[in-house]
Structure 1
Amino acid sequence: MSIALIAVLAILSGAVAEGIVLYFLLSMLRESGAVRKNYLGHDIPVGAGIGFPVSVILVFIVYMLFSRYDSSFSTYLIGIIAISFLGFIDDMLGQRDTLGFKGHFGALFQGKLTTGGFKALGGGVVAFFMAFSLVTPGSLGHNLGNIIVNTLIIALFTNTLNLLDLRPGRALKGYLFFLLLIGLMAAGKVNWLLIAPLLGAVLVYLPVDLKARAMMGDAGSNVLGLTLGYCSAIHLPWPYRIGVLIFLIAMHIYTEKFSLTRTIERVPWLRAIDQLGRSNENG
């Protein structure tokens, strides 16, 4: 069986897994009181993205059954589970009076650890772990630059999708766009079996997000961003990775000073893409 066919089946499996997980998860979140007002003031379940790692694990179990599981997938699994957990803590316990890297690290320097600060620090550790795992044993000195660049790409990409997740469907569209871009920069030479399960889960969850039936929260956006960062680290050559890192740094500097939502609303074609698929009631 060809890799392309297996990848398609993995996308379908990820979609089925996410559909099942989401059916039970949304009810659980509502009944447990895990709801928050969205930007329109509607109370909807938050943290629904915690289902993404579960869906991926279910598909990876199928890989194991058919001897298609690669040991390198374990690093990715650890990463998405850890980063989703950190995001879920912030979704459930986070206060919205402290925002942005400057706010969270400013609070940390004053001796106060916010949930956002904990997520940022933990995310940095996860990013370093994943970047370090890519180094061949005994070659640390020769790969120090790669470790630093890959750590920054994974960490900053994780937060970039968090920055996008302010309107229904925005972060998911961003994920699909950046994933396509990474695939093009890698000339299609990507590990589709790694990417496919989450892609299937995203395609099923997207209508739920667009209709504002739930918020995936940091538990979901962190998984999307970390996946993009890890794919960049393992698939892109050095010049492209440097370009990606420069873009991510510029994005963070810009969003510390200006509102990304206002920027999107001022640019007609960005606004049209942003609103694509939403109902009139959801902006």
Structure 2
Amino acid sequence: MLGSEIFLTFFILGMAALLELAAIHMMLPMLVRGGAIRNNFRNYEIPVAGGLTFLVTVLTSFIVLHFFNLLRIREVEIYLIAVLGMAFLGFIDDMLGQRDSLGFRGHFSLLLTKGRLTTGALKALGGGMIALYVAAVYSAGIGELVINVLLVALFTNSMNLFDLRPGRGIKAFLIVFFPLLLFQGELFLIFLPILAAALVFFPGDLKAQVMMGDTGSNVLGISLGIMAVWGLSFPVRICLVILLVLLHLLTERYSLTKIIESNRGLRWFDSLGRSDNR
């Protein structure tokens, strides 16, 4: 049994890695031709919404695995609906979003005071509905439902907070992903395609050749949120929600980049592998 699980693990990782390589090769030029170009933090024009490749990798991997009846359909269905929904909302923000109202309060201030729906507010509202969908399936009562909704929503947005410099978002994702993977039981196979996709995408992100955008960070973030809901005990989930709320309060008031740059250890890790000229 253990041998078959090891084989299946490497099979899924290898297949997903090849799919991600193919998706990057074919889709990034398509994004450029379609005008999906944005200036990064150093004002270089590079493709945005590269996280669309994550969808291709995850969806194709699940289609292949479904033919061999290797995954539990119910959990795959929940995960796919959540990932596709959040990627769609992120893509809208990447393509149509205006950067004049960054921050949770900024988006909802415009909505409540001027009746103006920004893509950020749409993403928050839609993301809340998706978080409710995920949480409702795995919540025994109203208290657990609230915690699970917050956990999924806050994890999703946390990746957006980190994805402001090349490689930072994926580094944060990997740091949280591997501990959460240990608590997934047999469901760990579901999250291997997104792991492979993130690892293959990582070098291009670090070198500032492409931005995964909110399209990609939403996929990574909601994956972490679902893993937390599925794998962790209720007290641990409460602690995580508190930490995530504190993170969001901190970043509403202070620049996360300035906090990182003011600490030698964090600054070193943040810049590790990053190209200096991009």
TM range (shorter): over 0.9
Q: Which residue of 2 aligns with 1:38?
A: 40
1:95 Cα deviation (Å)?
0.3
1:251 Cα deviation (Å)?
0.3
Q: Which residue of 1 aligns with 2:83?
A: 80
Q: Check if 1:93 corresponds to 2:96.
A: yes
Measure the CA separation in 1 of the matches of 2:277 and 2:207. Answer: 9
Residue pair 2:208, 2:275 contacting (<8 A) in 1 also: no
Q: Which residue of 1 aligns with 2:116?
A: 112
**What one-letter code is carried by the residue in structure 1 that aligns with 2:155?**
F
Q: Which residue of 1 aligns with 2:221?
A: 225
Q: Which residue of 1 aligns with 2:263?
A: 267
**What one-letter code is carried by the residue in structure 2 that aligns with 1:133?**
V
Measure the CA separation in 2 of the matches of 1:70 and 1:198. Answer: 17
1:190 Cα deviation (Å)?
6.1
Q: Which residue of 2 aligns with 1:22?
A: 24
Measure the CA separation in 2 of the matches of 1:4 and 1:199. Answer: 16
Identity, % of aligned positions: 44
TM-score w.r.t. structure 2 length?
A: 0.96
Of 210, 219, 229, 2:206 maps to 210
Q: Secondary structure at the match of 2:46?
A: strand
Q: CA offsets per residue over residues 103-130 of structure 1, 9 Å max, x none?
A: 0111111211100000010000011011
**What one-letter code is carried by the residue in structure 2 that aligns with 1:216?**
M
Residue pair 1:8, 1:196 contacting (<8 A) in 2 also: no
Residue pair 1:183, 1:190 contacting (<8 A) in 2 also: no
Q: Which residue of 2 aligns with 1:58?
A: 60
Q: CA offsets per residue over residues 72-128 of structure 1, 9 Å max, x none?
A: 211100100010000000000000000111101111112111000000100000110
Measure the CA separation in 1 of the matches of 2:130 and 2:147. Answer: 14
Q: CA offsets per residue over residues 5-26 of structure 1, 9 Å max, x none?
A: 2122111111111111111111
Residue pair 2:181, 2:188 contacting (<8 A) in 1 also: no
Q: Secondary structure at the match of 1:40?
A: coil
5+ residue gaps, structure 1: 136-141
TM-score w.r.t. structure 1 length?
A: 0.94
Q: Secondary structure at the match of 1:2?
A: helix
Give the CA RMSD over aligned residues: 1.2
Measure the CA separation in 1 of the matches of 2:192 and 2:42. Answer: 33
Q: Secondary structure at the match of 2:277?
A: helix
Q: Secondary structure at the match of 1:281?
A: coil
Q: CA offsets per residue over residues 148-184 of structure 1, 9 Å max, x none?
A: 1111100010000000000000000000001123245
Of 91, 100, 105, 1:102 maps to 105
Of 214, 236, 246, 1:240 maps to 236
Measure the CA separation in 2 of the matches of 1:64 and 1:40. Answer: 43
1:132 Cα deviation (Å)?
1.1
**What one-letter code is carried by the residue in structure 2 that aligns with 1:232?**
A
5+ residue gaps, structure 2: none
Aligned length: 274
Q: Secondary structure at the match of 2:141?
A: helix
